[in-house]
Amino acid sequence: MRHEISILILGLLAVLTTASIVAAILSVRAPKPLSSTLVNLTQRINAWWVMVALLTVAFFFGRYGMTILFALISFAALREFVTLTHTSRSDHWVLLGMFGIIIPFQYWLVWTAWYGLFVIFIPVYCFLLMPAITALHGDTERFLERIAAQQWAVMISVYCVSHVPALLTLDVPGFEGRTLLLIAFLIIVVQGSDVLQYIFGKLFGKHRFSPNVSPSKTWEGLVGGLVSASLLGALLSFVTPFSPLQAAGVAFVACSMGFLGGLVASAIKRDQGVKDWGHLIEGHGGMMDRTDSLVFAAPIFFHIVRYFWTV
Amino acid sequence: MNKLSLKTFTLLQTVTSVGLSALAWVVTGVRPIWNGSLPSGRQRIYFANHTSHGDFILLSACLSEKERAITHAVAAGEYWGKSRLRRFIAKDMLSSVLINRQWTTPEENPIEIMLSVLDQGHSLILFPEGTRNMTGGPLLAFRSGLYNLSMARPEVELIPCWIENMSRVLPKGQFLPVPLLCRVVFGPPVAVAPGEERRAFLERAHATLLALNPRPERGD
């Protein structure tokens, strides 16, 4: 596995270095003051350096590192989500429970690989008990809106995100001890697809995909991004239990889900009247701005691998 | 009593202030938005909306360590001076300035106490509503302290600071904070115009602070 990880890290370093050099050359040549697109591009690349560094560190700590890292990502994402939605004073204990009980318990289930409870703890127990607690408080103003927002918040930020480290619990025959590479594959392909969609959109984008939801998403960006990300998936098949063709197919499904995740996230932001989820990452906005695609891709990727590749 | 002698931070106060700022960041990811003023070493009175005990922690977390060491929150003596423990927290740990709203002797005159802090070159954090706002309305009417301080020390900058979301992080009667993102918006300095009446100035300062709210459409 060490061999594959070294190749992945070297590849990422090469891509980021190239990106930084290109951005530096563009910035030197461009008229001053720099356009906001160029400033944002540099900020984004710098943020990518930090994110890749963090992921690499978490990788070296293996299961511990991944579980803790994604629990923290859930925390940051949930905090952004709840901040945006309407809450009332009587929701205090439910909100505290979301951060103090649901996140630790869900990641404990991931850690202990208790699959049966991991898949139903949030969609069954939490979804029934959270509205019950809210109803017990007796505050019915905008009740359905409040409980719906709470449930969707834990669904997106905790349940979906926790499927990334849960990949480590899968038993793929002939792939023992290498499940960390599944996480690397998923993240690289899905985040790569975001970047590729952005690049194809900037270069060739003409026809808007859904002007009401997200003005920046175009058909050209979508098709170019998905096709190239699927190719990237095929190229990376050597780190997975998939054949190149299977890897391209899995990458295509994951990246399509990622695209839909971005679309849903944009719709929520538009509904709440904000541009970004938060201010955590310079140039990217908040945690959810960076993970919206991963959030939708992770559970589907998890279940595809689990259904077709595990015993 | 009104001859408060202030020193720079003791070790306990430095540790407390660094710890609380870190805690504020973990819980609220607090970030300053400088919208009309900039961080500077100048002597200032920061005046802010007040909905929770955590307000001044959030505000001071947005200041540099150097500024924090000479910035004191003004707190109610009736509450924070009541027991030895509270007094220890307020004075020895947080280095706040305690004033009594129902004062009797001249030594207890809040304005004199605050002026003595300013005269030593230090800055203040003031909540001109006078109490925590529990009404659900955005901002209560201001008390006159802000006007009196500005008239007595016109060279000190008055900076309006809107603290976002704290009423949701720590609602009334709760002591465990819900992690929600908060921002502190620092607005342009306000000063008493020549010949400006007390009430007119207070209303103008009130309006300036209210206008900083980045999401006024939210009722919560």
Residue-level pLDDT at B6: 66
Q: Per-residue pLDDT tens for B117-140?
A: 999 999 999 999 988 888 878 899
Q: How far is CA B217 from CA A90, A155, A272, in A?
A: 21, 27, 11
CB of B176 less than 8 A from some CB of A: yes
Residue-level pLDDT at B7: 64
Residue B157: strand pairing partners: B44
Are B176 and A278 a contacting pair at CB < 8 A?
no
Which tokens is B200 given? 């007119």
Own/partner contacts of B169-173, CB < 8 Å, gap of 24 or more, are: B169/B27, B169/B28, B169/B52, B169/B54, B170/B52, B170/B53, B170/B54, B171/A89, B171/A92, B171/B52, B172/A89, B172/B132, B172/B134
CB B143, CB B76: distance < 8 Å:
no
Are B168 and A87 a contacting pair at CB < 8 A?
yes
pLDDT at residue A63 tops 70:
yes
Supply the mean pLDDT for chain A. Answer: 93
Distance from CA of A69 to the nearest CA of B (A): 15
Q: Per-residue pLDDT tens for B156-172?
A: 999 999 999 998 998 87
ipTM value: 0.86
pLDDT at residue A57 tops 90:
yes
Measured between CA atoms, the residue of chain A closest to residue B178 is: A96
Distance from CA of B178 to the nearest CA of A (A): 6
- A220 band by pLDDT with thresholds 50, 70 and 90: very high
- B108 band by pLDDT with thresholds 50, 70 and 90: confident
pLDDT at residue B219 tops 70:
no
Of B90 and A182, the one with more pLDDT = A182
Measured between CA atoms, the residue of chain A closest to residue B183 is: A279
CB of B217 less than 8 A from some CB of A: yes
Q: Which residues of B fall within a CB distance of 8 Å from A86?
A: 218, 220
Q: Per-residue pLDDT tens for A272-281?
A: 888 888 887 7
> What single-letter DSSP state applies at residue B178?
P
Distance from CA of A192 to the nearest CA of B (A): 28
Q: Per-residue pLDDT tens for B200-216?
A: 999 999 999 999 988 77
Measured between CA atoms, the residue of chain A closest to residue B33 is: A279
- A75 band by pLDDT with thresholds 50, 70 and 90: very high
Among the partner residues A75, A78, A86, nearest to B220 by beta-carbon distance: A86
pLDDT at residue A237 tops 80:
yes
Residue B186's SS3 state is strand
Q: Per-residue pLDDT tens for A184-195?
A: 999 999 999 999
Residue-level pLDDT at B76: 87
Of A286 and B4, the one with more pLDDT = A286
pLDDT at residue B1 tops 50:
no
Residue A109's SS3 state is helix
Q: Per-residue pLDDT tens for A94-108?
A: 999 999 999 999 999
Max mean pLDDT among A56-65, A99-108, A194-203, B93-102 falls in A99-108
- B2 band by pLDDT with thresholds 50, 70 and 90: very low
Distance from CA of A222 to the nearest CA of B (A): 32
Alpha carbon distance B185, B191 (integer Å): 18
pLDDT at residue B100 tops 50:
yes
Q: Per-residue pLDDT tens for B66-92?
A: 888 899 999 988 888 889 998 888 888
Q: Which residues of A fall within a CB distance of 8 Å from B220?
A: 86-88
Measured between CA atoms, the residue of chain B closest to residue A278 is: B181
Q: Per-residue pLDDT tens for A128-181?
A: 999 999 999 999 999 999 999 999 999 999 999 999 999 999 999 989 889 999
Max mean pLDDT among A32-36, A236-240, B9-13 falls in A236-240
Residue-level pLDDT at B4: 60
Residue-level pLDDT at A128: 97
Chain B interface disruption, residue of A85, A89, A158, most B CBs within 10 A: A89
> What single-letter DSSP state applies at residue B151?
H
Q: How far is CA A302 from CA A90, A103, A153, A279, B220, in A?
A: 36, 19, 20, 29, 38
Peptide bond into A33 cis (omega under 30): yes
